Structure 1
C-alpha cells in the first residue's frame, strides 16, 4: 500500500491546482465558478489519461505473452505490474516443477518391465508406455486419444475391460502370437482406468518345465522301482534255480545302477545351479582333459567305434576341471550312444580369430531333426525316449553341458542332420583361454578301444 498515500496526495494536488487555475481563468471571463469546475474536471481528466496510458502498457505486456519485464511505472501501476509479473513467474516455476515431476514419474513407469496404459472415462488412451505399446501392438504417440477397444480387438480383453469388476487378472495370447500376457485393470479418479500388462511367457514356460521336471523325475524313478519290486516279489514267492536267481540279481543291479546314475545327475545339476561361478584364475591343461573324455567314450564304446582326439599341447582353460571334463565327457559318451557300430567320433579344439576357444565333439551318428534342436538341452527331453533308455541315458546330460558352459561364460552350439551325424561345440570366452609354456608336440593322438 506504499503507493496509496502518494497517489492520494497527487490526485488532491492535481484537483486543487486545476480548480485554482479554473477560478483564475473564470475570473477573467467573469465566471469563476464555471472556471473552477472546468479546471477541476481537466485535472481529473489528466489523471485518468495518465492512468489509461499506464494501463495500456501493462495490457500490451500481458497480451504479448509477458516477454521481458513488466512496465516499471511509478505508483499504483508499477506496483500492480510488479505483483502480476511475480505471480506469473511463480506460477511458471511451479508448473515447471510439476512438469519435471510428471516427466520423472512417467520415466519411472517407462523403466518398469510391465506395460502401463492410462484410459479416460470413455476408454480413450490418455497415455501409453513403450512396453504396453509393444505388448498390445500399439503406437504410443499415434494412438493417443483413440478408443482402446478399436485398437485392441481381442474379445477377451474387451469383455474384461467392460466388465467393471476386475477382481482377477486375465491371461491372453499376445497379438501376433508373440507370447502370453497377463492384464490387470484398476479404476481411479473420475471413471478413469489403469491397465497394467505383463509378459508372463517365460514364467508360464518355467512353471510348465517345473511340472514336467517333477513328472519326469517321478516317472524315471518309479520305473526301476517297479521293476525292482517285481523282482523282489518273484524271488520271495517262487523257487528259483541258482542260474535264475543270478540273472534276476543282475537285472536288479542294472536297475539300481540306473537310479544311481539318475540321482547323481540330479545332484550335479543342483550343484551347478547353486554354486558360485568358477574362478577365472584357476587354469587347467586342455590336452589331458580331452584325453580323459576320449577314454570315457572308448570304455563305453568297447571297441565298436573309432574314437579320435586332437589334444593340443600348450593350451590352458580357466575354470573347474571337473565341470569341464563332465561337459566334454557327456558329449563324447552321447556320441557313442547315438552312433552305430563302426561309426567315427572326433574330439577336437580350435581357437577362433576373436580369441574364443572351441571344443568340438563330432560324430557320424543318426543325427537329429532340426525341430528338436532348440529343446535338446531341456531336462529329460528326448528325441526318442525308448532309444535313450535303452542306451543308458538319463535325459540330463545336455542340460548339464549347457549349465557348465554357461557358468564358464560360454555357450553351446549344435548342428545336426538326420543320417549324417552331429556337431556339438563348446564355446569359451577369450578370457578363459591362454597359451601355456611351449611343450614339444608328440604327434596326433588317435585310437580305438
Structure 2
C-alpha cells in the first residue's frame, strides 16, 4: 500500500495548488472563491488526466502480446502494472512447465511397448500412440475424432466396448493377421476409455512350443517304454527259445538306447541354454573334429554311403570342443539318415573374405521342401515323422546345432531342394577362426578321404 499515501498527497497538493492559484487570479475580479473552486477542479482534473494516460498505456500493453515489460510508471498505475506483469509471467511459467510435463507424458506413452488408445464418451479416438496405430491399423492424425468401432471391427473388441466394465482382456488377431493382441479396456473420468493393447504373439508361440515339447517328450518316451513293457511281459509269461530270447533282448536294447539318446539330447539342450557363452581363447583343431565326426558317421552308415572330408585342415576354431563336435556330428549324421544308399556326403571347410569360417555338409539325399526349412531347428519338428523314427532320430539334433552355433556367435544356414539333396552351413565369426596352424604344440589330425560303397 506504499502507493496510497503519495497518491492521496499528490491529489491534495494539486487541488490546493489549483485552488490557491484560482483564488489569486479571481481576486482582481472579486471572484476569489469561484476561482479557488475552479482552480482546485483543474488541479484534480490534471491528476485524473495523468491517471487516464497511465491507465491507457497499461490497457494498451495488456491488449497486446505482453511480450515486453509493462509500463514502468510510478504510483498507483506503476504498482498495478508490476503486479499484473508478475502474475502473467508466473502463469506463463506455470503453463510452460505444464506443457513440458504433458510433452514428457506423451513421449512416455509413445515410447511404451504397449499400444495406448484414448477414447471419449462417444468412443471417438482422441489420441493414440504409434504402437496402437500399428496394432489397429490407424492413422494417429487422420483418424482422430473418428468412432473406433468404424475402424476396428473385431466382434470381440466391439462387444467389450459395449460393456460398462471389463475385467478380462480381449484376445484378438492383429489387423495384419501376423500375430495375436491382448486388449484391456478401462474407464476413467466422465465416461472416457483407456484401451491398452499388448502383442502376445511370442508368448502364445512360446506356450504352444512348450505344450508341443511336453507332448512330444511324453510321446517319444512312452513309445519305447511301451515296447519294453510288452517284451518284459512276453519274457515273463511265454517260454521262448534261445534265438527268440536273443531277438527280444536285442529289440529291448534298441529301445533302451533310443531313450538314452533322447534323454542325452534333452540334457545337452538344457546345458546349452543354461550355461555361459564359451570362451574365445580355447582353440580346437578342426581336423580332430572332422576325424571324430567321420568315424561316427561311418559307423552309422555301415558302408552304405560315400564320404568326403577335407584331406588337410590346419584351421582352428575357438570355443567348446564338445559342443563343436556335437554340432558337426549331428549335421553329418542327419545327412547319413536322409541320404539313400549309395549317396554321397561331402564335408568342406573354407575361410570367407570377411574372415569368418564355414563348415558345410552337403548330401545327395531326398532334400527338403522350402516351406519346412524355417522350422527345421524347432525341437521335435520333423518333415516326415514316421521316416525320422525309422532312421533313429530324436528330432533334437538340428536344435542342438543351432544353439551351439549361436552360442559361439555364428549362424546356421540351410539350403535344400527336393530330390537334389541338402547343404547345411555352420558359419563362425572371424574372432573364433584361425585359418592356419598358429600353435606348433597343438597336434593336427588329418581326416583322409574315406569311401564306402
TM-score tier after normalising by the smaller chain length: over 0.9
Alignment of 1:337-376 (within 5 A): 337-376=337-376
Could you tell me which residue of structure 1 aligns to residue 289 of structure 2? 289
Q: Is the 8 A contact 1:288 1:311 kept in 2?
A: no
Alignment of 1:77-88 (within 5 A): 77-88=77-88
State the Cα distance separating 1:188 from its structure 2 match: 1.3
State the Cα distance separating 1:123 from its structure 2 match: 2.0
- 1:97-120: per-residue Cα shift (whole Å, max 9, x none)? 222222222222223211111222
Q: Distance in 2 between matches of 1:250 and 1:49?
A: 123
2:389 counterpart of 1:402 = no
The number of residues matched between the two structures is 449
State the Cα distance separating 1:442 from its structure 2 match: 10
Q: Is the 8 A contact 1:181 1:199 kept in 2?
A: yes
Could you tell me which residue of structure 2 aligns to residue 94 of structure 1? 94
2:443 counterpart of 1:448 = no
Q: Is the 8 A contact 2:287 2:444 kept in 1?
A: no
| Structure 1 unmatched ranges of 5 or more | none
Q: Distance in 2 between matches of 1:5 and 1:311?
A: 112
Which has the larger displacement, 321-330 or 97-106?
97-106
Q: Per the alignment, do residues 315 and 60 of structure 1 end up closer, same or farther by CA in structure 2, a change over 3 Å counting?
A: farther
Q: Per the alignment, do residues 240 and 141 of structure 1 end up closer, same or farther by CA in structure 2, a change over 3 Å counting?
A: same
Alignment of 1:95-244 (within 5 A): 95-244=95-244
Could you tell me which residue of structure 2 aligns to residue 272 of structure 1? 272
Could you tell me which residue of structure 2 aligns to residue 392 of structure 1? 392
Q: Is the 8 A contact 1:310 1:347 kept in 2?
A: yes
State the Cα distance separating 1:152 from its structure 2 match: 1.8
TM (normalized to structure 1)? 0.95
State the Cα distance separating 1:334 from its structure 2 match: 0.1
Q: Distance in 2 between matches of 1:368 and 1:325?
A: 24
Q: Is the 8 A contact 2:379 2:396 kept in 1?
A: yes
Q: Distance in 2 between matches of 1:129 and 1:263?
A: 48
Q: Is the 8 A contact 2:362 2:424 kept in 1?
A: yes
Aligned to 1:38, what secondary structure does the other structure show? helix
State the Cα distance separating 1:195 from its structure 2 match: 1.0
State the Cα distance separating 1:306 from its structure 2 match: 0.9
State the Cα distance separating 1:354 from its structure 2 match: 2.0
Aligned to 1:393, what secondary structure does the other structure show? coil
Aligned to 1:171, what secondary structure does the other structure show? strand
Q: Is the 8 A contact 2:410 2:426 kept in 1?
A: yes
State the Cα distance separating 1:312 from its structure 2 match: 5.0
Could you tell me which residue of structure 1 aligns to residue 45 of structure 2? 45
Could you tell me which residue of structure 2 aligns to residue 422 of structure 1? 422
Which has the larger displacement, 371-380 or 80-89?
80-89
Could you tell me which residue of structure 2 aligns to residue 318 of structure 1? 318
Could you tell me which residue of structure 1 aligns to residue 36 of structure 2? 36
Which has the larger displacement, 351-360 or 400-409?
351-360
Q: Distance in 1 between matches of 2:149 and 2:30?
A: 89
Q: Per the alignment, do residues 102 and 312 of structure 1 end up closer, same or farther by CA in structure 2, a change over 3 Å counting?
A: farther
2:13 counterpart of 1:13 = yes
- 1:222-268: per-residue Cα shift (whole Å, max 9, x none)? 11111111111111111111111111111111111111101111111
Q: Per the alignment, do residues 312 and 65 of structure 1 end up closer, same or farther by CA in structure 2, a change over 3 Å counting?
A: farther
Alignment of 1:240-251 (within 5 A): 240-251=240-251
Q: Is the 8 A contact 1:294 1:347 kept in 2?
A: no
State the Cα distance separating 1:350 from its structure 2 match: 1.7
Q: Distance in 2 between matches of 1:287 and 1:418?
A: 31
Q: Distance in 2 between matches of 1:236 and 1:444?
A: 49
Q: Per the alignment, do residues 5 and 298 of structure 1 end up closer, same or farther by CA in structure 2, a change over 3 Å counting?
A: same
Aligned to 1:21, what secondary structure does the other structure show? helix
Aligned to 2:365, what secondary structure does the other structure show? coil
